[in-house]
Amino acid sequence: MKFEFATATRIIFGRGTIQQVGALATEMGSSSFVLVGKTNERAEPLLEQLEKNAIKYTTFSVPSEPTTTIVKEAVRRARQADVDLVIGIGGGSVIDAGKAVAAMLTNKGRLEEYLEVVGDGKPITQNPPPYIAIPTTAGTGAEVTRNAVIGVPDPCLRRGKHAPVKTGVKVSMRSPLMLPRVALIDPALTDSMPQDITASTGLDALTQLIEAYVSNKSNPLTDGICREGIKRAGRSLRKAYKDGSDKTARDNMALAGLFSGLALANAKLGAVHGFAGPLGGMVTAPHGVICARFLPVVCRVNVKALKTRQPDSPSLTRYGEIAQLLTGKSEAKAADGVAWLQELCAELKVPSLTEFGLTEEDFPEVVAKAKKSSSMKGNPIELTDDELMEILKEVK
């Protein structure tokens, strides 16, 4: 039995912990570069703390999922401001952008050289400046992972119902040196999330916990984290969605999001993320929405494939355990877990991917790209082309 576990140098969790960030920051630098979402609104508690502790700051908006263009501009601005500390406060996109910006401040060369798939995957060799990651959503777990997902845009666009469908790709920049110095999770920052964001980020967390638990790279440490996270998400996601003021549910989902990041960073994911990676570069649907559409279907197809080709696989037993954790019923079987997930996605009103422009004409390209995805390699069983196509046809 061999495994490795790496995470942020320090994890701070709890309501009101945002009040600690000023004192923490003074230990790391005097001039900060603060990445925020579309506006500074959700970052106000942080900015107040920086001002209170006489720490200079320059803010930079990351209004959407980070692209090479956004990251390059952020790096240029950060260098211009001569900062010695980077802080990301927002959803996974903001936090990922912050990791990439911090890394590029001390490592020479073009951003593209450090990207996987489309670049050279050049290693990060110089320690980035200290990075503090503060999530305001409960789902991605980006605050404790060692990679940043970055979009490489393509000028070719097609028109979907909601927005243009991009034909670019999403790739990772990855290094243990990119792990944040501090991950500060204050569930109070998630209380104001609207229903659709609560649903998509929560389902992203649940997907990551389930996939890491059945992954062929799971280990005893991630197993315990996944079981606890799945149980908390199972009893709290519906509640947080229906009543955003339910602090217990919000706290549980913030923990589930944190646990999902710890798990995926130290185990592997699976076919859901194997599809979500390529599709993220092809359609404008939020990552959590893509995961939610695929999760019940992938679970069902995986269970069927395992029963047929690997009936002795421990992952088959784990799907039954997941059903028990989700439903709270000791007699629940894998099929009950799939049904529970289908009902949850329907209740949380997860939109169809066809609404974002996905068509059957895209399926061969999606399958080809998904097969090459690093996440697909963690799936508990290798799925055939026919099974991958079956999943797509049911998901759309």
Which residues of the chain are in CATH 1.20.1090.10 domains? 192-395
Reduce the DSSP state of residue 261 to 3 states and report it. Answer: helix
Compute the distance between CA of residue 95 and CA of residue 141 in angstroms, rounded to an integer.
10
Give the residue among 280, 323, 302, 306 at the shortest CA–CA distance from 117: 280
Single-letter amino acid, residue 316: L
Single-letter amino acid, residue 390: E
Reduce the DSSP state of residue 182 to 3 states and report it. Answer: strand
Instruction: For residue 366, give every residue at least 6 positions away whose Cβ sits within 8 Å of its Cβ, in sequence order, or none.
Output: 275, 278, 279, 282, 392
Reduce the DSSP state of residue 183 to 3 states and report it. Answer: strand
Instruction: Using alpha carbons only, give the angle 259, 143, 187 rounded to the nearest 5 degrees.
Output: 70
pLDDT in 10s for each residue of the chain, 396 residues: 788 888 999 999 999 999 999 999 999 999 999 999 988 888 999 999 999 999 999 999 999 889 999 999 999 999 999 999 999 999 999 999 999 999 999 999 999 899 987 777 889 999 999 999 999 999 899 999 999 989 887 543 333 333 444 446 778 899 999 999 999 999 999 999 999 999 999 999 999 999 999 999 999 999 999 999 999 999 999 999 999 999 999 999 999 999 999 999 999 999 999 999 888 878 888 889 999 999 999 999 999 999 999 999 999 999 999 999 999 999 999 999 999 999 999 999 999 998 888 888 999 999 999 998 889 999 999 999 999 999 999 987
Give the residue among 194, 178, 177, 18 at the shortest CA–CA distance from 89: 18
The 10 Å Cβ neighbour count of residue 234 is: 24
List the CATH code of the domain at 10-189: 3.40.50.1970
Compute the distance between CA of residue 166 and CA of residue 69 in angstroms, rounded to an integer.
15
Which residues of the chain are in CATH 3.40.50.1970 domains? 10-189
Q: Cα 270 vs. chain centroid, distance in angstroms? A: 13
Compute the distance between CA of residue 289 and CA of residue 201 in angstroms, rounded to an integer.
8
Q: Quickly name the fold that domain 192-395 has.
A: Dehydroquinate synthase-like, alpha domain (1.20.1090)
Compute the distance between CA of residue 317 and CA of residue 312 in angstroms, rounded to an integer.
9
CA distances from residue 128 to 38, 57, 196, 303 in whole angstroms, order as listed? 25, 18, 34, 43
**What global pTM score does this model have?**
0.92
Give the residue among 195, 186, 189 at the shortest CA–CA distance from 237: 195
